[in-house]
């Protein structure tokens, strides 16, 4: 599934870093658990950001309750099975089947809603607002970047850590709609 693609590439040694955003405010250890299950120990996670994921709906629709939007929506911009956005939608639907057209990526969700061929879709707040859509938050997700402890002294990894821990970067992240940098740069050993 898409959620594990980057971790599998890291495991096979094809990439140096893998991004994960399975953790939510309700399940904050999912990224850590995923790395343990798929890779074992001797890895580290560095927090890149937290963001709001939710429902993008037309700007004229001022609904505030996700349950209202779910009841009304007949055509979804559907993210692929296994993506975090699809997982969020499936949780909102509570076992109901969503009808709509599959799209790939947050921008494609926003464009589908903006163009009118979807009534709603799940994406991050930044993307919805950039498309001029109304955004209804559903959950907070945490983006972590995973790397092997054997790469911990690699100058490229050290440069990334310095960047993520810098005040200027954290300030920039905090200025983005729906983003939170309060934990950006924190490192967790797996």
CB 62 within 8 A of CB 136: no
- The predicted pLDDT at position 4 comes to 82
- The predicted pLDDT at position 5 comes to 86
Give the pLDDT band (50/70/90) at residue 1. Answer: low
Query: Quick one: tokens of 38?
Result: 């798929």
- Which residues are within 8 A (CB) of 35 and not within 5 positions of it... i.e. 6 or more apart? 7, 20, 43, 45, 146, 190
Whether pLDDT at 2 is above 70: no
- The predicted pLDDT at position 90 comes to 95
Cα–Cα distance for residue pair 102/186, rounded to 1 Å: 35
Q: pLDDT digit string (tens) for 119-133?
A: 999 999 999 999 999
pTM of the model: 0.90
CA distances from 61 to 74, 109, 117 (A): 15, 16, 15
- The predicted pLDDT at position 3 comes to 64
CB 70 within 8 A of CB 35: no
- The predicted pLDDT at position 82 comes to 84
CB 103 within 8 A of CB 112: yes
Q: What percent of the chain has pLDDT over 70?
A: 98
Break the chain down into helix, strand, coil percent, rounded to 5. 40, 30, 30
The pairing of beta strand 179-180 with beta strand 43-57: antiparallel
Which has more confidence, 30 or 2? 30
Cα three-residue angle 53-4-170, rounded to 5 degrees: 45
Q: pLDDT digit string (tens) for 6-45?
A: 999 999 999 999 999 999 999 999 999 999 999 998 999 9
Whether pLDDT at 118 is above 70: yes
For 158, other C-beta atoms within 10 Å of its C-beta total: 12
Cα within 13 Å of Cα(66), Cβ side: 16
Whether pLDDT at 95 is above 90: no
Task: Kindly state the average pLDDT of the residues 167-187.
Answer: 97
Task: Kindly state the average pLDDT of the residues 151-159.
Answer: 96
Query: Quick one: tokens of 23?
Result: 């953790």
CB 144 within 8 A of CB 138: no
Whether pLDDT at 171 is above 90: yes
Query: Quick one: tokens of 48?
Result: 């890149």
The pairing of beta strand 43-57 with beta strand 76-78: unpaired
């Amino acid at each position: 599934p898409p959620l594990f693609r980057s971790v599998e590439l890291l495991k096979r040694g094809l990439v140096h870093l893998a991004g994960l955003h399975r953790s939510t405010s309700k399940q904050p250890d999912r990224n850590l658990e995923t790395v343990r299950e798929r890779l074992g120990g001797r890895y580290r996670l560095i927090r890149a950001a937290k963001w709001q994921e939710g429902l993008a709906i037309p700007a004229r629709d001022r609904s505030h309750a996700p349950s209202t939007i779910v009841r009304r929506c007949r055509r979804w911009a559907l993210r692929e099975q296994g993506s975090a956005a699809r997982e969020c939608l499936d949780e909102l639907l509570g076992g109901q089947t969503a009808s709509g057209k599959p799209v790939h990526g947050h921008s494609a969700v926003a464009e589908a809603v903006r163009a009118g061929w979807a009534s709603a879709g799940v994406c991050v707040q930044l993307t919805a607002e950039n498309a001029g859509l109304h955004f209804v938050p559903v959950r907070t997700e945490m983006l972590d970047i995973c790397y092997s402890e054997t790469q911990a002294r690699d100058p490229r990894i050290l440069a990334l850590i310095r960047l993520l821990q810098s005040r200027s970067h954290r300030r920039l992240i905090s200025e983005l709609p729906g983003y939170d940098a309060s934990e950006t740069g924190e490192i967790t050993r797996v």
